[in-house]
Amino acid sequence: MKKIKLYIPVFLLVLTVIACKIDNYPATDAQLYGTFLDAETNEPVEQDIIRGSTIEFIEHGYASQTKQVMIVKNDGTYRNNLIFANTYTITPVRGNFVPTEPQEVTVKGETQLDFKVQPYIRVKDVKIEKVGTKVVATFKLQQTVINKVKKIGLYAHPEPAVGEPIRTVLADQEINTVSDPNKIYRLEIDVPSNSSNLKTGNQYFFRVGALIDAPESKFNYAKAVRLTL
Amino acid sequence: MKLFRCILLLPVLFSLSCGDVLDKQPLDKLQGENLFSNPEGVKLYMANLYYQLPIEDFTFFRQGFNWNTGDPNNGGFAPAMVTDEAVHTEFGDFIGNDDFQWWDQGYKLIRDTNILIDIIPTLSVSEDETKALVGESAFIRAYAYFALAKRYGGVPLITSVQKYEGDVESLKVPRSTEKETWDFVLKECDVAIQNLAESWPGGERRATKWVAYALKSRVALHAASLSKYGERAPISGTAVDQKLVGLDKSAAAEYYKAAIEASETLINSGKFSLYKPSPASPEEAAENYRKLFEDPNIALNEVIFIKGFARPGAGTGHNYGIWYQPNQTANGWPHPGRMNPTLDLIDAYESYTDPGKSAPVMTTEAGNDINDYNGFSASKNYKRYDDPAGIYKDKDARLWATAVLPGTAWKGQKIIIQAGFIKPDGSAQLFGGEPITANGKTYYPFGAADRTQYSGFDTWGGNNTRTGVSFKKFLNEGVNVAPGWNQTVSDWADFRYAEILLIYAEAIVESGSGKIEEGAKALNDIRRRAGHTKDIPLTIDNVIRERRVELAFENKRFWDLVRRREYHTLFNNSVRHALIPVLDLRVSPAKYIFIRQTIQRLNPATFDYKQYYRYIPGVGSNGLVQNPQY
């Protein structure tokens, strides 16, 4: 009986010791970052942080070929600080630019990878200002493909991440034509008739965007503008 | 000598020992052969298949089917609440990735059906009975694969029982294309149609030839719409490249044709008609329509297929009666009032004064501000009413039978729905606060002093509507449901003749083929039953509006938005709306005004392209190609 009393703790101790393997897998050890750049002007291509362009990447060395996804900030930059050093197949997909080919990239340490893309539309000469009780945006469109422009819009939100997916007020217009590079487009938001979302005296961000008529395309934008109403 | 005798006995013992005395059969379970050798056993097995059928009834929620066993508490979040039909009193959820899944259960039902299908040829039953079994099992398989196809696109078509013989790989069946899957469902419908009789001798609620035609109409219209409108929401990925999701536009014509033919056969059969097709007044129409859903068994000429809820209890009753009563008639249940029909739905109902189009509720004399959802504005000249439901006068009878409107009677009580008041000084006090005294009378923010005496806008318990109306359709006015789980036993009409008429009309107008006058008649017959007297032309807008109001809350809207690829346009950072009744104390006696505004405490919702297909569970082990972007 005494022996059993001794054996049980010893047995449990042995079990405990062999049950736990120390998790000594390596942590992520690399960073990947970069910017979507307009191949022609070398300027960043404005994006949406949700429901915008995404970057798919597949890590080499595994049979599953699982696609992982990164999102892009509004200013066209992205950064992933928790990535393993390895070789990856990386493709920007479902974006606001002409589709690009997958590329094989070796990520090691701090790795910069910029994507030179051809944005579908450049939103140019943007002026957003308060005129009386209205916020008025004027802009020109320069499209780089022959497709029609489906929609243009002026979006407002209290946060700088404003865009078509993040907005509390919008003024948009289906145009469904090939745009004229010389035409000045005009959109306006009436402040009083949106009084529950646009309060006089507060600051809001306004951004102009245009959507090309292509499968899974995303909006092209100009930079957001901050206005005090 | 004695020993010798004993030795002689040994062979006897040996011979006895080799009997199968020890091969006992369990006494508490039926063996497969026994089950199927007895017609009663087949019936029993069939009952289980019907039970598993993915019927989108009172127990269908985002968690799945038959949500009335175990712990059925899901807060009463109905499928209608992820559409523009309604919102929940509390939850602001939209469609999650894990919602509306039906994979494991689907293939379980298909396997169970395949077991029966494999065994039918070996049964010793009459030829008629064999035919009926063939037809019924094809119907069940069609129903199951339809539920899979509309969720996942192309799926593995497993048509006989798979046997595990040591090789897992041989059990893995790849996905068929979406086209092949829809064609398979239609083919199964045809097998059912060819083999099923027109009725069952005892009038049992089992599949008949007509139910199979009804299913085929629904399936064909779904596939046709996907073909026609798939390009509204383009997606990309391996599953698209292999045509596992997506239908070619050219397939639309054949599917619309199939929908027209199947629904036309039902119409021409002369077996079905609308329940009380020509009411004398809108009031009568409203009462007829309400009764039709309170108990569909009174309208067997209209109802083609019923799922019964026979007795209160787990697995046999449902919970509409407790979740959706107005707060005032909760009958002791702690959390009623959870289905809140939206203004977006209310607007869709026609007005008898100006038929043929949606009649958005005009709240001001100017009538030019239906898109103003900013709330009360003192500068507006609101229409004032003595009757808290006055603003709904002239609205389609079906609205009155679908929703409990403010101030109307329900279960012998006046249902009070009031969001607050406009004080005599012209300022608004909405959604709470202290009672005030004006003109020598005390006024309460929600219309009554005690929280059991009103049904709107108080956030307490999540029991009061936040849209301005409460829910009525399907609820039984004459029955006080006990405040417990699964106590409601009203039956569910899965196929109604009205839906068949609407399928017929939609297929004709969408395909531009078929008999246009007949399609228009189908549409107007339904409207006439709702008290309309002026016919309207057959247009797609008219048909879709009619579907919205006639089939509201029958769990059709979700799939209508999916099949017509309208979900992402309707829900793009979109809010839903309320029509709040407010007591205006600026005038004496006080009158009601109504304010169109966004629903309180509800976030905007967005539907992504990828959500048109659900993700396929377990691709790591079943090896299937996943749907795009999952």
pLDDT for position A1: 59
Q: Give the range of the structural domain holding residue B367, as residue numbers without chain letter.
A: 319-490+574-598
Which residue ranges does chain A devote to CATH 2.60.40.2060?
A: 121-228
pLDDT for position B93: 93
Which residues in chain A are closer than 8 Å to B574, comparing Cβ atoms? none
B583: tokens are: 């007591």
Distance CA B278, CA B528 (A): 6
pLDDT for position B12: 58
Interface with chain B: mutation pick from A151, A155, A193, A216, highest number of B CBs within 10 Å: A216
- Residue B92 contacts residue B602 (beta carbons within 8 Å): yes
Which residues in chain A are closer than 8 Å to B236, comparing Cβ atoms? 93-94, 215-216
Chain A closest CA to B342's CA: distance in Å?
Answer: 20
Contact A193 B374 (CB under 8 A): yes
Say if A215 is an interface residue toward chain B (CB within 8 Å): yes
Interface with chain B: mutation pick from A64, A94, A151, A199, highest number of B CBs within 10 Å: A94
B326 located within any domain: yes
B34-to-A72, B12, B111, B124, B379 alpha-carbon distances in Å:
63, 33, 19, 12, 80
Say if A94 is an interface residue toward chain B (CB within 8 Å): yes
Distance CA B289, CA B266 (A): 22
Nearest CA in chain A to B620: A64
Residues whose CB is less than 8 angstroms from the CB of residue B279 and which lie 6 or more positions away in sequence, other chains included: B285, B288, B397, B529, B531
Interface with chain B: mutation pick from A49, A51, A162, A174, highest number of B CBs within 10 Å: A51
pLDDT for position A4: 74
Closest Cβ opposite residue A215 in set B236, B372, B598: B236
B93-to-B57, B444, B586 alpha-carbon distances in Å:
21, 31, 38
- Residue B496 contacts residue B303 (beta carbons within 8 Å): yes
Percent of chain B residues past pLDDT 70, beyond the cut:
96
Is pLDDT of B18 > 60? Answer: no
Contact A215 B375 (CB under 8 A): no
Chain A closest CA to B234's CA: distance in Å?
Answer: 6
- Residue B53 contacts residue B136 (beta carbons within 8 Å): no
Half-sphere exposure of A115 (CA within 13 A, CB side): 32
Is pLDDT of B7 > 60? Answer: yes
pLDDT for position A19: 74
Given the structure tokens 């009958």, which residue do they identify?
Answer: B331
Which residue ranges does chain A devote to CATH 2.60.40.1120?
A: 30-117
HEC assignment per residue over B538-570: CCHHHHHHHHHHHCCCCCCHHHHHHHCCCHHHH
Nearest CA in chain B to A190: B372
Distance CA B224, CA B343 (A): 30
Query: Using CB atoms and an 8 Å cut-off, which of residues 9-38 of chain A contact chain B?
Result: none
Say if A65 is an interface residue toward chain B (CB within 8 Å): no
Single-letter residue type at B325:
Q
Distance CA B46, CA B113 (A): 9
Interface with chain A: mutation pick from B240, B629, B630, highest number of A CBs within 10 Å: B629
Closest Cβ opposite residue A165 in set B573, B597, B598: B573
Identify the CA nearest to B459 among candidates B594, B337, B311, B330. B337
How many domains does chain B fold into?
A: 1
pLDDT for position B109: 98
Model confidence at B596, pLDDT cuts 50, 70, 90, reads very high
> Inter-axis angle of helices B252-268 and B209-229, to 10 degrees?
150
| H or E, element range at B573 | none
Chain B closest CA to A87's CA: distance in Å?
Answer: 22
Eight-class DSSP state of A162:
-
Is pLDDT of B36 > 90? Answer: no
Which has the minimum average pLDDT: A208-212, B13-17, B271-275, B471-475?
Answer: B13-17
pLDDT for position B6: 60
Which has the minimum average pLDDT: A185-199, B36-50, B152-166?
Answer: B36-50
Contact A196 B373 (CB under 8 A): yes
Other C-beta atoms within 10 Å of A114: how many?
A: 15
B379 located within any domain: yes
Nearest CA in chain A to B370: A193
Single-letter residue type at A221:
Y
pLDDT for position A65: 84
Which residues in chain A are closer than 8 Å to B609, comparing Cβ atoms? 216
B230 located within any domain: no
pLDDT for position B439: 84
> Any bridge partners for residue A134, and if so which?
A131, A190
Is pLDDT of A166 > 60? Answer: yes
Other C-beta atoms within 10 Å of A27: how many?
A: 6
Average pLDDT over residues A24-44: 94
Interface with chain A: mutation pick from B94, B231, B236, highest number of A CBs within 10 Å: B236
Chain B closest CA to A94's CA: distance in Å?
Answer: 9
Is pLDDT of B130 > 80? Answer: yes
ipTM of the complex: 0.84
Average pLDDT over residues B174-190: 98
pLDDT for position B10: 62
pLDDT for position B16: 57
Contact A51 B235 (CB under 8 A): no
Contact B234 A215 (CB under 8 A): yes
CA angle at A119 for the pair A113 and A124, rounded to the nearest 5°: 120
Which has the minimum average pLDDT: A16-20, B122-126, B365-369, B519-523?
Answer: A16-20
Nearest CA in chain B to A167: B573
B183 located within any domain: no
Tens of pLDDT, residue by residue over B547-567, are 999 999 999 999 999 999 999
Nearest CA in chain B to A52: B608
Residues whose CB is less than 8 angstroms from the CB of residue A215 and which lie 6 or more positions away in sequence, other chains included: B234, B236
Q: Which residues of B touch A (CB under 8 A)?
A: 234-236, 372-375, 573, 597-598, 606, 608-609, 620
B52 located within any domain: no
Tens of pLDDT, residue by residue over A99-151, are 999 999 999 999 999 999 999 999 999 999 999 999 999 999 999 999 999 99
CATH entry, A121-228, from 3.30.450.40, 2.60.40.730, 2.60.40.2060, 3.30.230.10? 2.60.40.2060
B441 located within any domain: yes
pLDDT for position A8: 83
Tens of pLDDT, residue by residue over B286-344, are 999 999 999 999 999 999 999 999 899 999 999 999 999 999 999 999 999 999 999 99
Closest Cβ opposite residue B374 in set A93, A166, A195: A195
Contact A165 B606 (CB under 8 A): yes
Model confidence at A6, pLDDT cuts 50, 70, 90, reads confident
Single-letter residue type at A117:
V
pTM for the structure as a whole:
0.92
Which residues in chain B are closer than 8 Å to A193, comparing Cβ atoms? 372, 374
Average pLDDT over residues A66-88: 95
Distance CA A201, CA A224 (A): 19
Contact A94 B236 (CB under 8 A): yes
Q: How far is CA B31 from the centre of its chain?
A: 37
Tens of pLDDT, residue by residue over B458-497, are 999 999 999 999 999 999 999 999 999 999 999 999 999 9
Say if A196 is an interface residue toward chain B (CB within 8 Å): yes
Contact A51 B606 (CB under 8 A): yes
pLDDT for position B40: 84
Model confidence at A25, pLDDT cuts 50, 70, 90, reads confident
Which residues in chain A are closer than 8 Å to B235, comparing Cβ atoms? 216
Which residues in chain A are closer than 8 Å to B249, comparing Cβ atoms? none
B86 located within any domain: no
Which residues in chain B are closer than 8 Å to A166, comparing Cβ atoms? 573
CATH entry, A30-117, from 2.40.160.10, 2.60.40.1120, 2.170.120.40, 3.30.930.10? 2.60.40.1120
Which residues in chain B are closer than 8 Å to A195, comparing Cβ atoms? 374
Q: How many CB pairs under 8 A join A and B?
A: 25
Strands in B60-183 per DSSP E? 86-88
